[in-house]
Amino acid sequence: MTALSTDYTSASSSRPVSFADAGVPAPLVAALAASGITVPFPIQAATLPDALAGRDILGRGQTGSGKTLGFSIPLVARLADGYTSACRPRGLVLVPTRELAGQVKAVLAPLAKAAGLSVVTVYGGVPQKPQVAGLRDRADIVVACPGRLADLIEQGHCHLGDVEISVLDEADHMADLGFLPIVRRLLDMTPPDGQRMLFSATLDRAVDVLARRFMHRPAHHDIGLAEAPAAMTHHLLSVAPADRVAVVTALVGGSGRSLVFARTKHAARRLARQLTTAGIPSAELHGDLSQGARERNLASFAAGVVRVIVATDVAARGIHVDGIDLVIHADPPAEHKAYLHRSGRTARAGAAGTVITLQTQAQTSDVRALMRKAAVVPLTATVTPGSALLRSIAGEPVGPVTLPVIRPTAIVAAPATGHGAAALSSGFRGRRRR
């Protein structure tokens, strides 16, 4: 991180204690209060004065720290007075995944409504027609994944020449996914004198390159180290390969809500079905699902219809569900940033949470290095499916749940009458009336 410290202005030590103190307009303060949000989180308190003043912002905070509101409030406040032309948005938020796009819009929408602005999401995997319609309807703010937005621009459906404020959310993940060339191309289409804000859980060299190219003396706000929050309890459990599924089943068998990570789409699908067969209804979330299926599964998890969701890393940045009790790495991630992003689905906003990593003997060396880089000292144990430790982590087991089988309702035909009755009853083949 030292490469970032020399050219950027540090945050002021005097931070506001309320949204009004930070300069947030009264209509937005009221909209926040209506959602039960009355006190800014540290990253919001740190960044809002500079962002509302129009400065470029480089902000780092852990997942669940409130980064989305940190850019949403100034984005809406500064665009509130202005005119948007068709297909020429004035606000742009770039995100790496479809799930994150939807959740950023969910945060933005109440604020935008209070300010008389509109928001549209743009991402692949769904028909583009509704997205194009939203742009033509003079959407003020576009929340977009880079690939689909670039496609719409090439087709002439969107132009970025009027963008006043650009936001990059989870820029490090966009770098990991190989989106940076497209991101640079999109930012080059925006006016160079516009405000730019970059928020991320980690700020590495690739993000540093973006900041130096597109930001003008940004205010650098670094809230929290790139390590797991203290509210998390970390367990590292050694298991025999043959026991892995049974151990996961025991861990998710309690009444809490669990997010399980698998390495591949196939492994996620198989594990979700194994858990469901064991009486623990589970949803799956991975790239092979259609956008509609992903949204339905995530909604079922958020609503408590299922207590368990099994996901690949596609969900690490896209799930924002309150009250996740357990994050289970059924397959350890490849590197420490992925561990922190996965684990950040629990212990959000100061709440407590438990993170469990399963390892086999062959994975011991790699997992030890991963934990060291993540600055995590886990509680270690060797377990079998019947170990008492699993019960103490998961709580009392909930009885097996069998999902109801929905059978088609029998359709009873009403007695036929009239000309049609003759046709049905006697094979009538008369001429059709004209």
| Predicted local confidence at residue 417, as pLDDT | 44
| 79-116 tens-digit pLDDT | 998 999 999 999 999 998 888 898 899 999 999 999 99
Name which of 320, 283, 327 is nearest 301 in CA terms.
283
| Predicted local confidence at residue 332, as pLDDT | 93
Q: Is 334 in contact with 284 (CB distance < 8 Å)?
A: no
Q: Give the C-alpha separation, 192 to 111, whole Å.
A: 26
| Predicted local confidence at residue 99, as pLDDT | 83
| Predicted local confidence at residue 157, as pLDDT | 97
Of the two residues 319 and 360, the one the predictor is more confident about is: 360
| Predicted local confidence at residue 421, as pLDDT | 41
In this prediction, residues 314-340 reach a mean pLDDT of 81
| 61-88 tens-digit pLDDT | 766 668 889 999 999 999 998 999 999 9
| Predicted local confidence at residue 13, as pLDDT | 45
> How would you write 273-320 as a 3-class SS string?
HHHHHCCCCEEEECCCCCHHHHHHHHHHHHHCCCCEEEECHHHCCCCC
Please state the pTM of the whole predicted model: 0.70
pLDDT at 434 over 70: no
| Predicted local confidence at residue 292, as pLDDT | 83
| 125-157 tens-digit pLDDT | 889 999 999 999 999 999 999 999 999 999 999
Q: Give the C-alpha separation, 272 to 285, whole Å.
A: 9
Domain positions in the chain: 2-223, 232-394
In this prediction, residues 14-25 reach a mean pLDDT of 81
Name which of 272, 321, 307 is nearest 399 in CA terms.
307
pLDDT at 26 over 50: yes
The CATH fold of domain 232-394? Rossmann fold (3.40.50)
Q: In one letter, which amino acid is 241? A: P
223 beta partners: 61
Q: Give the C-alpha separation, 226 to 203, whole Å.
A: 9
Q: Give the C-alpha separation, 60 to 365, whole Å.
A: 30
Q: Which two tokens stand for residue 310?
A: 């099994």
Q: Is 329 in contact with 316 (CB distance < 8 Å)?
A: no
Q: How far is CA 31 from CA 44, 101, 225, in A?
A: 16, 21, 31
Looking up tokens 């090439």, which residue turns up? 154
- State percent of the chain over pLDDT 90: 54
Q: Are 2-223 and 232-394 equal in CATH topology?
A: yes
| Predicted local confidence at residue 146, as pLDDT | 94
pLDDT at 357 over 50: yes
| 406-416 tens-digit pLDDT | 343 443 444 44
Q: Is 118 helix (H, G, I), strand (E, B) or coil?
A: coil
Q: Is 169 helix (H, G, I), strand (E, B) or coil?
A: strand
Of the two residues 433 and 187, the one the predictor is more confident about is: 187
The listed range with the strongest mean pLDDT (3-12, 252-261, 394-403) is 252-261
In this prediction, residues 201-209 reach a mean pLDDT of 76
User: Under CATH, which number does the domain 2-223 receive?
Assistant: 3.40.50.300
